[in-house]
Amino acid sequence: MEVGTLTVTTEDKHRDGGQAEAKEAAQFAAAEAAAKAKEAKPAADRKRTRNLSEDKRFKLFSGTANRPLADEIGRHIGVPVGESKIQRFADGEVYFQLLENVRGVDVFVVQPTCYPVDQHLVELLVMIDALKRASAARITVVVPYYGYARQDRKDRPRVAISAKLIADLLTTAGANRALFVDLHAAQIQGFFNIPVDHLFASPVLVSYFRELALPKLTVVSPDAGGVERARFFAQKVGAPLAIVDKRRTDMNVTEVMNVIGDVADKNCLIIDDIIDTAGTLVKTVDALYASGAAAVYACASHPVLSGPAIDRIAASRLVQLVVTNTIPLREAAQKLPKIKVLSIAGLLGAAIESIHMETSVSTLFS
């Protein structure tokens, strides 16, 4: 039986203030510098930095959550995804078998915990356990989208801190290191007792909108919790910042109150990390147009797009929604012309190379 997703959104996302912005800014600057350095290097030098294809102590595996992303990462680093067998019993129970020797190998497992969240999470745990019992030297989980991240604190009586529970499960299963992209709350890194690398997708998104060169652009945060992310984006594209003040009345139910900032006759760009049911997004779009915006665009790292999201986006006045491929788009979303997908495979590939070669990853995330 297919299990749906339970989504909990909190108004206060518990950002870590200036530290998160500093990390993201440093990652963006480093990505630009690395791109320029790569262009300046002779072909022979570039080839020497990509030697993972000859390294017998490195292997890349993937679950079923986002195999296309894993394949693209493999092409970037010159290593094919390892052979394995993933099947399910009639009752849905997952079966996983490695078809390659991993004894003493540095293994990376790509598996976002996207819809169906619980199914993909258990699949990841079973894969980790199999790798541990096959004597892998080190297991790094590459989780482009961390499910349950929105449940990172007790915002109501008698609720679970599910983000911490998932961290414990991954560690107990045998993960030695974790690599994430745009955690909903940066402090989730502290839930782990293993090294965590936290990447930001913003360099990819910023580059796209720089090339688009929208005139009279204003960057908009859809809530107070996303101001740091939106401010960083605004600085990189040289645009002013506006904020939408909202009140959340229930889970996935938001009442937009007012717009703080000048958006009249401006091209507005809404910046968010997760778009789930798109309720907040559509109401933010309506509020911006009501305040005189000329056109409204949006971008987000994780296109969860559950429930009525596709229909809401299609019926809205949103010009374009730009997302990354941390989560594979469903068929209905792929058919919607308003949605454009950018790849973060190169970013993840560079991080995986650095982790394996024991070089600094701080140029990518800190």
- Residues annotated catalytic, as ranges: 246
The CB-based long-range contact list for 256-262 (8 Å cut-off, 24+ gap) reads 256/280, 256/283, 256/284, 256/286, 256/287, 258/287, 259/220, 259/287, 259/288, 259/291, 261/218, 261/220, 262/218
CA atoms of 317 and 320, how far apart (whole Å): 9
Place of tokens 């199914």: 119
Closest by CA to 256, choosing from 229, 288, 217, 226, is 288
Place of tokens 């499910």: 147
Q: Which residues contact 347 (CB under 8 A, 6 or more apart)?
A: 31, 181, 199, 201, 203, 204, 364
CB of 325 closer than 8 Å to CB of 341: yes
Tally of residues, the chain = 366
Helix (H) or strand (E) run with residue 140 in it: strand 138-143
CA atoms of 321 and 317, how far apart (whole Å): 11
CB of 15 closer than 8 Å to CB of 153: no
Helix (H) or strand (E) run with residue 249 in it: strand 241-250
